[in-house]
Amino acid sequence: MEFSITRGTLANVLTKVGKVLNAKSSIPILSGLFIEVKEDEINFIASDSETTVALRLLSSDPSVSIIHAGTTVIPKEAFNTILKLQGVIDFKFNASKNTISIVQKDDNFKLDFQTFVAEEYPPVTEIPQGSIPVKMKANRFKHLIDETIHCVSTSDSRPILQSINFVVSENMIHAEATDGHRLAKVIDTDFSCKLPEGKTIKLPVPAEVLKNISKALNLDEDIILLFSDNCFAAMNNNIIFTSSIFNGVYPDITRLIPNDFIANVTLNRNELLNTLNILSEVKEQGIVKMQFDDMFTTLIAEGSISKGKKEIAHKEIECETDLNIAFSADFLKQALLVLENTDVTINFKGAEAPFVLKENHNLFESVHLILPVRQY
């Protein structure tokens, strides 16, 4: 096996597969990057046994040159040294000694590394067969992830909540996530999928997998999603992610979102966000109280050694009853950060009921729900 590649292209490959490559695994060979050289392409594969990412470079790419076909698995630690080289880097694999020679032509620099036996690399997660493809713009898919991932649970007590649940029907795709204290749901209609009438796809995809995909996406290209009962795949340009998924059924969170409210207030999003950034530092647990009058929304935080208060003028308000609500400032901040409108409307059902933020655009809409904190 022999090929050459520019340092910049190699660095880009490692950036896209690095998260999976650097994941901890009990199988030593999975700490290496599997490289398969064919006559017309080079495939780079990283896997942690649950998730696999494969990146393909065609022989027509001017940054690579294929000399001889073959396979090898290079330990990830070797790339820390390899990337210190500049310009064009030659890889030459010696099958008899099971070593790879790295040569930098310009400086006549040569490095030799021991490699794993390629034939011992375990089978990787395969692309779901027979599933119906879902096609959408990569930036729209990234938007689904960005708007919901902050609500994913970090607790191991319910693994299913460590995922973002995707639901695909004939005319919409929506992503939803909850950690039991808040939830986010985003609906998008700008996609294509030829589902049989009445059929719906539901699949919870691990959030860590989606983080990796989001970082590796070429946002100028479309993404194709494939779902099966136990596997998920995403194909974007020259990269493919495949992953197993959590067992179990994602809870129906739609029923938790109220439809009728006793009050709503519209505020400038940046002013509210800046206020929460300051007040969240006052109270040890980051709890902030919100009160209303005819002209202002008042936010209050009281800590053991400090106290803060800020009045924000309403843009609009509808409130026929006294309302005093306490909540996590961090939860509301994270929701505000992913919203796009200049102003935000918060809908209230009561002092101890969840409050809701909604945003509607031409091709998508989002809902963010936050449970209040009980006051004593």
CB-based contact 52:20 (threshold 8 Å): yes
Q: What is the pLDDT, as a whole number, of residue 96?
A: 65
Q: Above 80 in pLDDT, residue 288?
A: yes
pLDDT, one tens digit per residue, over 65-80 is: 999 899 999 999 988 8
The per-residue pLDDT for 134 is: 92
Q: Provide the sign of the torsion angle of the four alpha carbons 46, 48, 49, 51, taken in this order.
A: negative
> Distance between CA atoms of 237 and 219, rounded to whole angstroms?
10
Per-residue pLDDT, averaged over 118-131, amounts to 81
pLDDT-wise least confident of 91-100, 183-192, 357-366 = 91-100
Q: What is the mean pLDDT of the chain?
A: 89
Distance separating alpha carbons of residues 89 and 101, to the nearest angstrom: 10
pTM confidence score: 0.88
Strands 134-137 and 191-192: antiparallel
- Mean pLDDT for the stretch of residues 138-167: 94
pLDDT tens digit sequence for 344-362 = 999 999 888 999 999 988 8
What pLDDT is attached to residue 284?
A: 67
Pseudo-torsion of CA 182, 185, 186, 189, nearest 10°?
180
Give pLDDT, residue 357. Answer: 96
**What percentage of the chain reaches a pLDDT higher than 90?**
56
Judge whether residue 285 has pLDDT over 80.
no
Q: What tens digit of pLDDT does each residue of 29-40 get?
A: 999 999 999 999
> Using CA atoms, how far apart are residues 362 and 341, in angstroms rounded to an integer?
13
Asked whether the predicted pLDDT for residue 376 surpasses 70, the reply is no
- Please choose, from the candidates 56, 59, 94, the residue with its C-alpha nearest in 3D space to the C-alpha of residue 74: 94
pLDDT of residue 161: 95
DSSP H or E run through 198: none
Query: From CA 195, how far away is CA 179, in angstroms rounded?
Result: 30
Q: Choose the weakest-confidence range: 94-108, 138-152, 178-192.
A: 94-108
Residue 13: is its pLDDT beyond 90? Answer: yes
Give the C-alpha distances (Å, rounded to integers) separating 177 from 185, 255, 339, 367.
7, 14, 16, 11
pLDDT of residue 170: 83
C-beta of residue 271 within 8 angstroms of C-beta of residue 312: yes
Buried b (16+ CB within 10 A) or exposed e, 322-351: ebebbbbbbbbbbbbebbeeeebbbbbbeb
Question: Under a CB-based contact definition with an 8 Å cutoff, are residues 207 and 152 in contact?
Answer: yes
